[in-house]
Amino acid sequence: MAKFYRTLTPELVQFIRRQRVFFTATAPSDDGRINLSPKGYDTFRVLDEQRVCYLDFAGSGNETANHIRQNGRITFMWCSFDTRPLILRVYCYGELVERTEARFLQLMREHFATYDPRTVRRIVLGRVESAQTSCGYGVPLFEYRGERKALLEWSRVTADKGELDEYIEANSQRTEEKFPLQRPPLGAF
């Protein structure tokens, strides 16, 4: 049975801290693609019962940020892969903190001191609108084996070469601009 919350309770915060992976979901204001991304590393922080944030590294696209700029909506999801099943969705209004902003370095120092700020594209903030839990009984059991090092290493090497800003700029286009959504006619299924 689903249960709804207006803020993050201490129990929900503890659940978030135990998880090794989270997902972000955003959607454009128009009829474009919904974006769903898995995230790893220890990059998610609960700032208080109504504010959260995570580190956004450069990757193959920039859909999450583009959607947040359009309408501010972002959903975070965690699911337990251990013996205590639970799914948690946190519905938020997002805000982007870019590397050029003074508060970027402040947030990095206060919440992400073990990460090199040069390797991070931005910080995504979320103001919690509501949260929902559900049973998670259908989620399989998995054993955590460790983090993949490739993204952090690539980010460090690219930042050391002074090429990360150029990469971010070149890969900040919306997917719909590269590959327009081809809607089939009604009844085509």
Please give the tally of structural domains in the chain: 1
Please return the burial class of 63, using the count of CB atoms within 10 Å of its CB with bins 0-12, 13-18 and 19+: buried
pLDDT value at 115 more than 90 = yes
Q: 44-60: per-residue pLDDT in tens?
A: 999 999 999 999 999 87
pLDDT value at 178 more than 70 = no
Q: Is-above-0.95 flag for pTM? A: no
158 domain residue, yes or no: yes
Q: 69-101: per-residue pLDDT in tens?
A: 999 999 999 999 999 999 999 999 999 999 999
pLDDT value at 121 more than 70 = yes
Query: In the prediction, which pLDDT does 185 show?
Result: 75
188 domain residue, yes or no: no
157 domain residue, yes or no: yes
What does the pLDDT average to over 146-171?
A: 93
Residue 50 belongs to domain spanning: 3-175
- What is the per-residue DSSP string for 106-133? HHHHHH-TTS-GGG--EEEEEEEEEEEE
82: amino acid identity, one letter = D
181 domain residue, yes or no: no
* CATH code, 75: 2.30.110.10
Per the prediction, the chain carries an average pLDDT of 93
Confidence of residue 175 (pLDDT cuts 50, 70, 90): low
Confidence of residue 177 (pLDDT cuts 50, 70, 90): low
